[in-house]
């Protein structure tokens, strides 16, 4: 039986430092944009993010202290999956925002249900794999059911034109299934099947083809489709070793589009320099270390898979976001966890941190 321990203070402190840095950088990156759009307040985006931070902190505290048995309850897991699926379907019938159907319009804000698919799917997969671990290579009893659920949610997210989130969900789920000991012949078969599927979806929509071509040669159209990646590189290069100082960045002044969201790492590099960018990467490295440590020392298989999935979700998103800012990957619309502006992303990320802190109390 697992013994009750104190939660991981290093993980908690690191996550809070990242969140605080994110709030500072959101204000720095968005103040001018907020003033131009809304006139009356340069703190518009900061206050909105602060409201979601308060709600996310409450969710994190709740998940830190909830009975782990409740997280394993199938009724809770299927209920969460059902709510997320309903949200994804409702989002498809909402008015498009930037040509996508990712958000549900609420009186006070917009919610992105695909963000909440991340913790819901991790808990479901952790429970499912823990129960079926001995039969992980059973095609009809294990692989087909889990593949159906994963394909359903990835498909709904793709219908909303969110290729990046769907890909991230599949990558994390695949890693969890791999950790369960799936046979290499299935790994090879799945990889061979996914390569053409990913290629098809990447090229099936005009905007995705344009992003891919822009990634391959952004200099070909520096004032058009290549504008965003080129401005990101300019921001990172301008920062130098020590940066221009918080608030002194220039690319956020209507050069780099939406600098407080997907490209906030570029503003960090410009204003905090190489040192600041490395410090951010170091903080995420600490999160990865503590998360994988929690998984390694878990006293039950559910906690192992759930901690592994939570850690991978944060790490993969951070790697993709930073890679996009460095023009190592095409633009994906993946936020930097705990840093980028976005209420749904912050809520989901804090929920994942809360789950990790809960599992840390049962490991050691």
Going by C-alpha positions, the residue among 304, 309, 268, 311 that lies closest to residue 289 is 311
The 3-state DSSP class for residue 97 equals strand
Whole-angstrom Cα Rg for the chain: 20
- Residue 216 sits at φ, ψ, to 5 deg, of -70, -30
Token pair in block for residue 203: 């090229």
pLDDT at 213: 64
∠ CA 91-95-100 to the nearest 5 degrees? 70
178: exposed, middle or buried (Cβ count in 10 Å: 0-12, 13-18, 19+): middle
pLDDT at 198: 67
Contact 273, 266 (CB under 8 A): no
Token pair in block for residue 223: 């004032």
State in Å, rounded, how far the first CA of the chain is from the last one.
Answer: 12
∠ CA 86-87-92 to the nearest 5 degrees? 100
pTM of the entire predicted model: 0.91
pLDDT at 202: 61
What are the mean pLDDT values of the chain's consecutive 10-residue runs (364 residues total)? Answer: 69 96 94 80 89 96 92 93 95 84 86 95 95 87 90 92 90 92 81 71 63 66 73 89 89 83 93 95 97 92 96 96 89 89 95 95 72
pLDDT at 1: 41
pLDDT at 142: 85
Q: In angstroms, rounded to a whole number, what is the distance separating the alpha carbons of residues 345 and 103?
A: 12
pLDDT at 290: 96
Token pair in block for residue 299: 């006293």
């Amino acid at each position: 039986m697992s013994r009750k321990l104190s939660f991981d203070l290093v993980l908690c402190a690191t996550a809070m430092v990242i969140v605080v840095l994110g709030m500072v950088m959101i204000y720095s990156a968005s103040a001018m944009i907020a003033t131009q759009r809304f006139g009356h307040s340069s703190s518009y985006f900061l206050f909105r993010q602060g409201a979601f931070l308060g709600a996310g902190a409450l969710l994190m505290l709740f998940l830190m202290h909830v009975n782990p048995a409740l997280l394993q309850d199938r009724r809770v897991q299927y209920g969460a999956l059902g709510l997320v699926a309903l949200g994804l379907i409702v989002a498809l019938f909402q008015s498009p925002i930037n040509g996508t159907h990712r958000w549900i319009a609420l009186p006070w804000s917009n919610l992105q249900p695909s963000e909440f698919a991340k913790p819901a799917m991790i808990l479901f997969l952790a429970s499912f794999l823990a129960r079926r671990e001995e039969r992980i290579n059973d095609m009809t009893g294990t692989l087909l059911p889990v593949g159906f659920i994963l394909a359903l949610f990835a498909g709904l997210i793709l219908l909303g034109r969110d290729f990046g989130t769907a890909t991230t969900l599949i990558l994390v789920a695949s890693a969890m299934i791999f950790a369960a000991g799936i046979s290499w012949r299935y790994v090879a078969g799945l990889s061979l099947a996914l390569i053409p599927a990913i290629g098809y979806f990447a090229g099936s929509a005009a905007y995705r083809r344009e992003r891919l071509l822009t990634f391959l040669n952004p200099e070909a159209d520096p004032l058009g489709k290549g504008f965003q990646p080129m401005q990101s590189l300019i921001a990172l290069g301008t920062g130098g070793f020590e940066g221009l100082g918080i608030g002194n960045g220039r690319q956020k002044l209507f050069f780099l589009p939406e600098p407080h969201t997907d490209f906030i790492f570029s503003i960090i590099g410009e204003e905090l320099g190489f040192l600041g960018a490395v410090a951010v990467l170091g903080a995420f490295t600490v999160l990865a270390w503590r998360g994988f440590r929690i998984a390694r020392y878990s006293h039950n298989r559910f906690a192992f898979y759930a901690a592994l999935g939570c850690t991978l979700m944060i790490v993969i998103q951070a790697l993709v976001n930073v890679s996009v800012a460095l023009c190592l990957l095409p633009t994906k619309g993946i936020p930097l966890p705990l840093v980028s502006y976005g209420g749904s992303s912050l809520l989901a990320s804090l929920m994942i941190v809360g789950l990790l802190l809960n599992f840390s109390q049962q490991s050691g």
